[in-house]
Amino acid sequence: MTTLPEKTTRKLGLVIDLDTCVGCHACVVSCKGWNTENYGAALSDQNPYGADPSGTFLNRVHSYEVQPLATSTMPHPAAQLVHFPKSCLHCEDAPCVTVCPTGASYKRVEDGIVLVNETDCIGCGLCAWACPYGARELDAAEGVMKKCTLCVDRIYNENLPEVDREPACVRTCPAGARHFGDFADPESNVSKLTAERGGMDLMPEQGTKPVNQYLPPRPKDQLDQPKPVGEIDILAPFLAPVMDEPKGFLGWLDKALEKI
Amino acid sequence: MTHHQPKIDTSPKVSDEIRKTTCYMCACRCGINVHLKGGKVSYIEGNRDHPVNKGVLCAKGSAGIMQVNAPSRLRAPLKRVGPRGSGEYEEISWDEALEMATDWLAPIREKHPEKLAFFTGRDQSQSFTSLWAQSFGTPNYAAHGGFCSVNMAAAGIYTMGGAFWEFGQPDWDHTKLFMIFGVAEDHDSNPIKMGIGKIKARGAKVIGVNPIRSGYNAVADDWVGITPGTDGLFILSLVHVLIKSGKIDLDYLSRFTNAPVLLNGDETSPEFGLFLRDDDGKPLVIDRNTGKLAAFDTPGIRPDLSATHRAAGVTHRPVMHHMAERYLDPQYAPEAVAERCGITPEKIHRIAAEIARVAFDEAITLDHEWTDFRGEKHATMTGRPVSFHAMRGISAHSNGFQTCRALHVLQILLGTVEVPGGFRFKPPYPKPVSAHPKPHCKVTPGAPLDGPHLGYAQGPDDLCLAEDGSAARIDKAYTWENPMSAHGLMHMVISNAHAGDPYKIDTLFMYMANMSWNSSMNTGGVIKMLTDKDENGDYVIPRIIYSDAYSSEMVAYADLILPDTTYLERHDCISLLDRPICEADAAADAIRWPVIEPDRDVRGFQSVLCDLGARLGLPAFTNADGGQKYADYADYITSHERRPGIGPLAGFRGAAGDEAGRGAPNPDQLDRYIENGGFFVNHIPEGANYYKPWNTAYQDWAVGMGIYDAPQPYIFDLYVEPLRKFQLAAEGHGERQPPDHLRERIKATLDPLPIWYPPFEDDHVDTAEFPVHALTQRPMAMYHSWGSQNAWLRQIHGHNPLYLPTKLWEKNGFADGDWARVTSAHGEITVPVAHMAALNENTIWTWNAIGKRKGAWALSEDAPEATKGFLLNHLIHELLPPKGDGLRWSNSDPVTGQAAWFDLRVKVEKTDAPTESQPAMKPLKSPVPQGPDHLEWKVGK
């Protein structure tokens, strides 16, 4: 119902490193703080001190337990915990835009940011239904759809020092797990990180062509890999005893001290 | 619709003004930029220039805006009008409140200063509050270290002159292998997250050791899901493998540690096991060049790790011999410890091998010339790039001190302390035990105490005992039960005061410590003690004064409430005299200042103490003419001198404000801090910034900064002689003798070389009946009980189910939504459960302090924190269960007295869902109105 631009000049977005994200929620709250104060309506909170507090957030961190399958080299793999920050991925083929009946949802030509023009939003919620990632939230107080703006009011903001012209979530991330840049530029930090670390689309089968990329966790628990039968454990030489019990130790010690 | 793109303002005004101060949403003390619009806080972000957080900020820090508008903020001084615990109060004026406090405290000071117990919880102004208590004259002062991580701090100080967090940090720029043991995720949290991010970005490896794989352990490359309480055994097994394979740094050990120091080997001597010393009292080694005895610090010697000294028919052997003998014993072999630790022997071997490979094959060298304390010049600095960090997880056990010792000793054996890539001290550390004060407890009515309360006991002579041998302090710190209790035992104050053991007190004065809730073991019992009356109908603890900024559970149990400000409304100093914010390459300190004014009738607690101190005529707070010495805390911060030229803040001293460390007080000092972003940094010169305990350039820099008054080089204590002195007393030597029932325990546990023994609870409860370990963890997005009053943070952590591992989950047939009855030897709780696979198979856990009492923190009574939230504290007692010897042993470490929270053992049974978590306590009457039912937070309209 609302058309997307044929192409955008830049493709601004985030790289989120799942290998490094410790799940601290710093990005969640920094985002809430900046965006309740800035772009559009406040991010309201219902029942904030009551039984079922529920507010609007543009970015949330979910935690998933992963149980790797047993293999011949890892018969008893330990379960893992992956922290997964999620916000709008500013898709190239954004279904939330095309579904919008009023044109309130749109994708910017110059940088690809997907925004909601709150004056035109009727709060029908179709975009939230259309988004396969659950990245949009209808603000219960204002009745308009809220979503990540990629801090469009920070990244170009001439009232901020240049170093601060990045999304609030990126600026605050203590672990450095969030990176901001232009995916249209192959030399940008985000393009390079994506290439080096095998950055992935989230749910590519949905055909949304998300701009944001996720870096997968590196393989874990390599110390649990038992030594393959018939092969030498590469760490084994370091464990070779240099002596027998205490008496032998003193002999070794004397010899070793001579070499210092 | 065709594409329609409205014009938007991408450069809106950000704020009217930025004020830079220090966060206090937890204990990390990050720098923050507080944005203001129309005088109100509109946004909080990290300060990029700040040494601690370098611009980043955690969830708590960003949520500070919801803390300064929290409905739970206290509004005015309160006088109790109903019974204790009812929550019935009347607002009074500050004059009335301070007169009341003065009327209570002045007579105490005149006759029995010890009848005031002043304990300050999570205080960041301990050098100030301790001065107040010292000037009052009571021996009964401490902060919360005794129930937090004193084992880590004390083990570090006694071993090497510093521990982790505010004492030191991994060399994030050079380390190649980082191993992190149990850490509360809000301890030093931004620096650790930044460090992990930094080392992962360059492909360095992280090994996490924790029964629970959350937070840092979730991103660790390798996870060791250890069984609680066995960390020391695991570490000593690593030591066994490393020594056996010769992977220890002999050069480092011989130069910089007491490994070559000779121990008196004469079993008949009262000095058996103490250092051989020369006439000047210096420990002796054998010089490998000459084969002769020499003081350890003699220029030009090569201390011998191997040679022994034979005299008068007795062989005196160096510490290194004793260590080899102990740790090469097969009892520490991976195969012998694996099952108890819950780790396979292969994995212990592999971790040891990986540590050895990185330490010795990937050693790094920096081209920094330096000169050591023996005068020897070194052209380069060699680093073993393995680093460690640990806090409460290994600390809060009854074997925690020795476990923390073991970890420090492991680092030293690898030669990785104060070297590139290893662990680095932050000024004012390194600071050996000998440079710390000793404990003081001599009371003189109407006069100050004879010295600082807390310090490092170096032998039986330093214990705080009355003439009859009973405890001088209400918390029994520095007694034979826990001789080296360097942070006091805040968790024992209320039960000892209630029992009148060692004596009765009159007034309990507390600050920022939620003792009737999450900060006490045995919460229900503590509430009874606080409300218990004697045969005359008087409260057993006659008076309670409490200061807090918020409507915590503890407020309801005080007779007089002194409402504190929030952190944005106050002055503070994060001082080098206290728990500073230095970095390994720099000394640094910081301030808080009122970036907004309070809109309530509240006052900063420290300013109140300046006033109260003057009303009581305390010498440190009164001028010669009897007037008030410090108008408020800000005045104290700028004008107080601890020693001539040394004050609470190191920066911008002297009349011109251009002196660092030493200098006359500067009345404009706070303004200069504010101009500088709220902090001060002085960098350590290159070449002085590693090998600090032995590096003459560092020692000279530290003297210039006022950290020491003279260079104090020292060697690391693998073997801790003060521990041996307590053992000798237990063996019958010396005049001060322990009571007989403690002799065997002192001999067994105050071992001068690290040992491991099972947590005491294992010996007092039936481990077959209570087979499961139960822990709490602190999440990264909450700080103790504070987070729940925060509208944003409680949406992140508003629930705390009890997490069960797969084995227990399946064995009991649990399903989502189920509840469990959890029983310990002491108590029982009924709580909601959830399944977690990434968990040690014999461990259950929950988030700490999410559970709230109804009526507290301005939450509604049906808040999930109050209906489904819960505390494990109900299952833990400050005393161990009786074991039939007629004695009640305290549930704490026998060296330091640290509360052994994590020794807890329980059983878990499925049960019908109650209407709410049990035990459910009756609601408190809130002294503040409840919060609004909705928020649309936007300051600039």
> Domain A12-224 - what CATH class?
alpha beta
Contact A172 B44 (CB under 8 A): no
pLDDT, tens only, B71-92? 999 999 999 999 999 999 999 9
- What is the distance, to the nearest Å, from the Cα of residue B896 to the centroid of all Cα atoms in its chain? 12
Instruction: Give the mutation candidate from A12, A24, A117, A139 for the B interface (greatest B CB count, under 10 A).
Output: A24
Report the pLDDT value the prediction gives residue A238, as an integer from 0 to 100: 55
**CB of B913 closer than 8 Å to CB of B542:** no
**pLDDT under 50: residue ranges of chain A:** none
Report the pLDDT value the prediction gives residue A225, as an integer from 0 to 100: 76
Going by C-alpha positions, the residue among B454, B456, B463, B453 that lies closest to residue B737 is B463
Distance of alpha carbon B577 from alpha carbon B554, whole angstroms: 29
pLDDT, tens only, B340-387? 999 999 999 999 999 999 999 999 999 999 999 999 999 999 999 999
**Smallest Cα distance from B795 to chain A, Å:** 6
Distance of alpha carbon B704 from alpha carbon B519, whole angstroms: 40
CB distance from A38 to chain B under 8 Å? yes
Instruction: Give the mutation candidate from A166, A249, A255 for the B interface (greatest B CB count, under 10 A).
Output: A249
Report which DSSP code applies to B718: S
Report the pLDDT value the prediction gives residue A72, as an integer from 0 to 100: 84
Distance of alpha carbon A171 from alpha carbon B14, whole angstroms: 15
End-to-end CA distance of chain B: 31
**Smallest Cα distance from A157 to chain B, Å:** 4
Contact B197 A174 (CB under 8 A): yes
Distance of alpha carbon B654 from alpha carbon A63, whole angstroms: 53
Q: In A, residues 150-169, which contact B (CB 8 Å cutoff)?
A: 152-153, 155-160, 163, 168
- The stretch B383-395 carries a mean pLDDT of 95
Report the pLDDT value the prediction gives residue B148, as an integer from 0 to 100: 85
Report the pLDDT value the prediction gives residue B782, as an integer from 0 to 100: 93
Task: Give Cβ neighbours of residue B268 (< 8 Å, ≥ 6 apart).
Answer: none
Nearest CA in chain B to A150: B10
**CB of B123 closer than 8 Å to CB of B129:** yes
> Domain B152-306+316-431+716-749 - what CATH class?
alpha beta
**Smallest Cα distance from A205 to chain B, Å:** 26
**CB of B691 closer than 8 Å to CB of B418:** yes
- The stretch B735-739 carries a mean pLDDT of 96
Contact B1 A222 (CB under 8 A): no
Cβ contacts of A109 on chain B, cutoff 8 Å: 3, 5
Contact B935 A100 (CB under 8 A): no
The residues with which B775 forms a beta bridge, in sequence order, are B845
The residues with which B62 forms a beta bridge, in sequence order, are none
Nearest Cβ partner of A220 from B221, B935, B937?
Answer: B221
Provide the 10 A C-beta neighbour count for residue A258: 9
Cβ contacts of A12 on chain B, cutoff 8 Å: none
- pLDDT-derived band of residue B877, with 50, 70 and 90 as boundaries? very high
Report the pLDDT value the prediction gives residue B265, as an integer from 0 to 100: 98
Provide the 10 A C-beta neighbour count for residue B810: 11
The H or E element that residue B764 is part of is helix B760-764
**CB of B465 closer than 8 Å to CB of B202:** no
> Domain B78-148+436-567 - what CATH class?
alpha beta
Using the predicted structure, report yes or no on whether residue B465 has a pLDDT greater than 70.
yes
Contact B198 A176 (CB under 8 A): yes
Provide the 10 A C-beta neighbour count for residue A186: 10
Lookup: tokens for B555 = 């407020």
Report the pLDDT value the prediction gives residue A8, as an integer from 0 to 100: 93
CB distance from A118 to chain B under 8 Å? no
Residue B37's SS3 state is: strand
Distance of alpha carbon B258 from alpha carbon B318, whole angstroms: 8
pLDDT, tens only, B764-780? 999 999 999 999 999 99
Q: What is the 3-state secondary structure (H, E, C) of A64-79?
A: EEECCCCCCCCCCCCC
pLDDT, tens only, B488-513? 999 999 999 999 999 999 999 999 99
Q: Which residue has the higher pLDDT, B165 or B322?
A: B322
Provide the 10 A C-beta neighbour count for residue B445: 12
Q: In A, residues 44-73, which contact B (CB 8 Å cutoff)?
A: 44-55, 57, 63, 65, 67
| Backbone angles phi and psi of B378, in degrees to 5 | -120, 135
Provide the 10 A C-beta neighbour count for residue B922: 9
> Domain B760-911 - what CATH class?
mainly beta
Nearest Cβ partner of A223 from B71, B350, B356?
Answer: B350
- What is the distance, to the nearest Å, from the Cα of residue B254 to the centroid of all Cα atoms in its chain? 31
Q: Kindly provide the b/e burial profile for residues B371-389, where b requires at least 16 CB atoms within 10 angstroms of the residue's own CB.
A: ebbbeeeeeebbbbbbbbb
Distance (Å) of CA B4 to CA A2, A5, A108, A156, B12: 9, 9, 9, 21, 22
Contact A226 B196 (CB under 8 A): no
Q: Kindly provide the b/e burial profile for residues B767-779, where b requires at least 16 CB atoms within 10 angstroms of the residue's own CB.
A: eeebebbbbbbbb
**CB of B829 closer than 8 Å to CB of B874:** yes
pLDDT, tens only, B401-419? 999 999 999 999 999 999 9
Distance of alpha carbon B218 from alpha carbon B220, whole angstroms: 6
Contact B220 A220 (CB under 8 A): yes
CB distance from A234 to chain B under 8 Å? no
Using the predicted structure, report yes or no on whether residue B99 has a pLDDT greater than 80.
yes
Nearest CA in chain B to A1: B1
Lookup: tokens for B702 = 């530290």
Contact A100 B794 (CB under 8 A): no
Stretch among B182-186, B763-767, B852-856, B889-893 having the lowest mean pLDDT: B182-186
Report the pLDDT value the prediction gives residue B267, as an integer from 0 to 100: 96
**Smallest Cα distance from B686 to chain A, Å:** 27
Lookup: tokens for B894 = 């026998």
Hey, where are the domains in chain B?
17-67, 78-148+436-567, 152-306+316-431+716-749, 569-704, 760-911
Pairing of strands B205-209, B543-548: unpaired
| Backbone angles phi and psi of B721, in degrees to 5 | -60, -40
Provide the 10 A C-beta neighbour count for residue B919: 14
Contact B353 A115 (CB under 8 A): no
Hey, where are the domains in chain A?
12-224
Contact B12 A157 (CB under 8 A): yes
Reported as half-sphere exposure (CB side, CA atoms, 13 A), residue B730 has a value of 21
Size of the A and B interface in Cβ pairs below 8 Å: 316
Question: Whole-number mean pLDDT of chain B?
Answer: 96
Report the pLDDT value the prediction gives residue B838, as an integer from 0 to 100: 97
SS3 content of chain B, % helix, strand, coil (to 5): 30, 20, 50
The DSSP result for A12-29, as a single string, is EEEEEETTT-----HHHH
Query: Which of these CATH numbers, 3.30.365.10, 3.40.50.1360, 1.10.1200.10, 2.20.25.90, describes B17-67?
Result: 2.20.25.90
What percent of chain B has pLDDT above 70? 100
